[in-house]
Structure 1
């Protein structure tokens, strides 16, 4: 599955019809019935027109995939507008800050299989929308102990992303891989694809051994940087190790710690000795990993109560504030439940 999102900057009303038509055609290609595709049109029209009317523009991120039970279009709508004081109030039909009927946000929520929103006065708003080909599909709760979401976008103008991630689950725990191929474009994409394939096939349970396994299998590629985070349910530990500039933090409530990777390039030169960091694994922790397509000087505690929200909302909020726009960018957020 391609994890990357396509991105549109919405700064002019003339773009709305074009974007609505593109996502409508995508829905039909996925097998959406005409009625469901028309409902998707309503969602896109409301999101994009609201960006123009209330926020002087913003970003619309979308991707399509099959999740095992249905075909899905996922959307993030991000803006740096004035924000919303009372999110619960604007969700009700009939409420409007303008002279319209005030049915926009309520319609988006009704027509979506999943709708989430976070807003803060003076900061802006992020919205997450999941549209399945069947309107009555419910979003299942995680059964793995890990609720995780990622936002990954290409370097502007590139068709392929040089970042990649994958999560493996077992009865003993789970393993998270996040990698960034050197540079961007097709060669970086090839490097990270080879690394993900090696990670999937690796039977090792120590992150150092996993990194060395990946290193041996990507030597003919451009190379990459990557971090592995492994949870052992029985030992109740995180085991974290990385090579190159992947930023990794774990939050325990308001407190957080950043884990420093080793210098090197996987596939070319890695340290002879690498050791992982062992951290207690606890409920309600939040792990945040991202490539250098995002700035590192961010503080989750500046976003009021956002840690209570879903991983996707947290990821998109950090993306909104910190994306550089000069490289591929990926942010992965997991919550222990």
Structure 2
């Protein structure tokens, strides 16, 4: 089961809780002492910023796959820290990201230093609506391996229901040859048994990422027999053919951005591992630089509105996922169930 640390930061005592949670995630990821120290510093700074700059917020910490799977290299888990708030936003982003600048007078490090020491850092802020700051830190990876990106990016966030340690929702992605498969699984109900079902789906994805979505769903149905079962959606990108294959069973939502239009992708009714449809069909779609896919569990309200901000759509996929969760809820009305959002996005244009 995937551990998720959810730290509401409403007073100064929770800053220490954020640091302890980050160190626990670093231990789970197998990070060495210097990288663990970096994780601890980033979590401390982001939590302190939430408290003093935004009047409080939420820190989500877990161990995730990297946003771009390296070709020919083993996947390495990285610690992801997302700071989410409904605060006033940042007035001067450039100044806030200046290395050493701190509006919090905490460690004198600030967002600029967080960006420098993290492997990946993303920030999205809107005046009057809030800010999402996200950092990932993993094992030291040689530069030539990090450059072997997969042809697309993926990212996501998971918010357990009522602060639980484990979520029944899980997302993952895996590569096999020219196929990149993104999965979102929602174990029936919530709590440890739901988490076991979604964890079993993640394990099978990594074993069977070479299969097309309908066949992979059949494998998942067999693997999840004996569990509570799960709703599962699979989006498989064939990078050589620039084609997206989608199939799902259960109530996982899927929205595909095509140019400036959002299109809903439909799954079949059922529960993987318990009741699978006799016929499993898939949707075939072209994939290009103006496409973007959002998968989400039913923890999001059914009438959530997809983002339209071009800057956000081009952001780190996990930042987009965190903003989606944030904007579909509020500090007064948090998520109503285990909630997961996963995003598949094209690689950004290469800088000259």
TM over 0.5: yes
Q: Write the deviation string for residues 5-37 of structure 1: whole angstroms up to 9, x where unpaired.
A: 31100011222234334535665784543x665
Out of 183, 204, 207, the residue aligned to residue 177 of structure 1 is 183
* Counterpart for residue 226 of structure 2: 220
Q: Which of structures 1 and 2 has the bigger CA Rg? A: 1
* Counterpart for residue 335 of structure 2: 325
* Counterpart for residue 165 of structure 1: 171
Conservation of the 8 A alpha-carbon contact between 2:18 and 2:59 = no
TM-score norm. by structure 2 comes to: 0.81
Q: 1:106 to 1:221 in 2, by over 3 A?
A: closer
Q: Specify the SS of the correspondent of 1:305.
A: helix
Give the distance between the partners of 1:66 and 1:174, measured in 2 at CA: 13
Cα drift, residue 259 of structure 1: 0.7
Cα drift, residue 3 of structure 1: 5.0
Out of 181, 198, 201, the residue aligned to residue 192 of structure 1 is 198
* Counterpart for residue 136 of structure 2: 130
Q: Specify the SS of the correspondent of 1:301.
A: coil
What is the alpha-carbon root mean square deviation over aligned residues? Answer: 3.3
Out of 138, 141, 149, the residue aligned to residue 155 of structure 2 is 149
Q: Specify the SS of the correspondent of 1:7.
A: strand
Give the distance between the partners of 1:171 and 1:276, measured in 2 at CA: 20
Out of 287, 299, 309, the residue aligned to residue 281 of structure 1 is 287
* Counterpart for residue 44 of structure 1: 43
Structure 1 residue runs of 5 or longer lacking an equivalent are none
Cα drift, residue 302 of structure 1: 4.2
Q: 1:121 to 1:267 in 2, by over 3 A?
A: same
* Counterpart for residue 13 of structure 1: 12
Give the distance between the partners of 1:4 and 1:303, measured in 2 at CA: 31
* Counterpart for residue 57 of structure 1: 56
Give the distance between the partners of 1:136 and 1:213, measured in 2 at CA: 35
Cα drift, residue 71 of structure 1: 7.2
Give the distance between the partners of 2:308 and 2:65, measured in 1 at CA: 35
Out of 216, 222, 228, the residue aligned to residue 210 of structure 1 is 216
Conservation of the 8 A alpha-carbon contact between 1:114 and 1:139 = no
Cα drift, residue 112 of structure 1: 2.8
Count of residue pairs the alignment pairs up: 335
Structure 2 residue runs of 5 or longer lacking an equivalent are 67-73, 348-352
Out of 251, 262, 273, the residue aligned to residue 245 of structure 1 is 251
Residue 73 (1) aligns with residue 72 (2): no
TM-score norm. by structure 1 comes to: 0.85
Q: 1:220 to 1:103 in 2, by over 3 A?
A: closer
Conservation of the 8 A alpha-carbon contact between 1:152 and 1:329 = yes
Q: 1:147 to 1:26 in 2, by over 3 A?
A: closer
